A = this chain, B = another copy of it.
Amino acid sequence: MFEVIAWDKKTNARLGVLNLPHGKVQTPVFMPVATRAAVKTLSPDELKILGSQIILSNAYHLFLRPGLGIIKKAGGLHDFMSWDKPILTDSGGFQVFSLSEQLKVTGEGVEFSSPVDGSKQILTPKKVVEIQEVLGSDIAMVLDQPVGYPSDEDKAAMAVKRTSYWADLSMRAKNRKDQYLFGIVQGGTYKNLRKKSSEELVAMDFPGYAIGGLSVGEPLDLMHKIASYTADLLPKDKPRYLMGLGSPQDILKAISYGIDMFDCVLPTRMARNGAVFTSKGKLNIKNAKHASDFSPLDNHDCYTCKRFSRAYLRHIYLSNEILAHRLLTIHNLAYILDLVEKAQKAIRLGKLDKLIKET
């Protein structure tokens, strides 16, 4: 399912291919986030034009709304949202723990009130696998228990224990052959716990591994330290996915220590706040200095840069036109997707370190 095609000369970065039921995915890869079965502001065709190979959706959110029955009747998530390339569904472990009210966690699973309608819901590892089998995503994620930052070691250890137990239950619940289930390493910012979690999950022989529970408020240095430490503990021949990381610099750095897959709401959320990535750093379109600036956001070949000036984008942003959110989202996703493509080329040429210095 995963082949490593080339290794970078100076770093642990690698170029690979994921062979998934809905197509091949070149790695490293950035997955735009379609939490509720839509990437915010964009159509499926725009995502294809941008070069998105795979998108991420969320089992927890879709389970609550529209509900599984509807997506099952639609023939699965691909048909429901009219996207025929690969999809990874997150289990929603992170979302259950961060968005739900009246949370009750037991060894069996999580009981909570739905933020949509207040109804009582129970998610178990088995149920989360079943949900994702109905969704029909190419890659499903196990139900895990993350901890926040800071978190004391006992609490983090307890979460690792539960995450391993749940991972085992998830593995056993699996039925669908045309879907890959990934394990999620937890352990907070404790190296010993990350090691324990990795070893336990690797023993279960998942086809891929995510590093979860990071980017939750810890210092950036510490995040990279823990992520790179954990990446080294995971099998070289399996894909590694660092959940929720999204700034250009952080993605390149994580690629250099051997991460293959990324997702983050940052590019789309920033866009809605008027902020964009450019080759010269971040830029906020609300800034008055762009009022009469007829240059593009960047020298980019995305639709936004090819057709619209900063002055126009600022005007429609300040006029609350939805088109502004769309055009800035297109730009930010194009920027990140292009950057990851550049990283692929750099790995092939053994020049990832140079790209990191220049970005």
Residue ranges of A at the interface with B (Cβ–Cβ < 8 Å): 36-45, 65-66, 69-70, 73-74, 80-82, 291-292, 294, 303, 307-309, 311-312, 314-316, 318-319, 321-327
Instruction: Give Cα A40 to B323, complex, Å.
Output: 7
6 A-B interface contacts by CB (under 8 A): A36-B315, A41-B326, A43-B303, A43-B326, A73-B292, A326-B326
Query: Are B66 and A315 in contact (CB-based, < 8 A)?
Result: yes
Q: Knowing A307-B44, A312-B80 are in contact, say whether A319-B65 is a contact too (CB < 8 A).
A: yes
Query: Are B309 and A74 in contact (CB-based, < 8 A)?
Result: yes
Q: Knowing A38-B316, A307-B82, A311-B80 are in contact, say whether A291-B66 is a contact too (CB < 8 A).
A: yes
Query: Are B74 and A321 in contact (CB-based, < 8 A)?
Result: no
One complex includes copies of this chain to the number of 2
Query: Are A308 and B42 in contact (CB-based, < 8 A)?
Result: no
The chain B residue sitting closest to A80, CB to CB, is B312
A36, A65, A311, A322 — most chain B CB neighbours (10 Å): A322
Query: Are B74 and A319 in contact (CB-based, < 8 A)?
Result: no
Instruction: Give Cα A42 to B311, complex, Å.
Output: 18
Query: Are A322 and B325 in contact (CB-based, < 8 A)?
Result: yes
Across the interface, A311 reaches (CB within 8 A) one of B43, B66, B325, namely: B66
Query: Are A294 and B326 in contact (CB-based, < 8 A)?
Result: no
What residues of B have a CB within 8 angstroms of the CB of A80 in the complex? 309, 311-312, 315
Across the interface, A308 reaches (CB within 8 A) one of B82, B307, B312, namely: B82
Cβ of A311 to closest chain B Cβ, rounded Å:
6
What residues of B have a CB within 8 angstroms of the CB of A42 in the complex? 323
Q: Knowing A65-B315, A312-B81 are in contact, say whether A36-B70 is a contact too (CB < 8 A).
A: no
Across the interface, A315 reaches (CB within 8 A) one of B37, B82, B323, namely: B37
Instruction: Give Cα A314 to B69, complex, Å.
Output: 15
Query: Are B307 and A70 in contact (CB-based, < 8 A)?
Result: no
Query: Are B41 and A322 in contact (CB-based, < 8 A)?
Result: yes
Q: Knowing A66-B315, A74-B294, A291-B70 are in contact, say whether A40-B322 is a contact too (CB < 8 A).
A: yes
The chain B residue sitting closest to A312, CB to CB, is B80
Instruction: Give Cα A318 to B36, complex, Å.
Output: 10
A37, A325, A327 — most chain B CB neighbours (10 Å): A37
Query: Are A70 and B37 in contact (CB-based, < 8 A)?
Result: no
Query: Are A74 and B318 in contact (CB-based, < 8 A)?
Result: no
Cβ of A64 to closest chain B Cβ, rounded Å:
10
What residues of B have a CB within 8 angstroms of the CB of A309 in the complex? 74, 80
Across the interface, A41 reaches (CB within 8 A) one of B73, B292, B323, namely: B323
What residues of B have a CB within 8 angstroms of the CB of A36 in the complex? 315-316, 319, 321
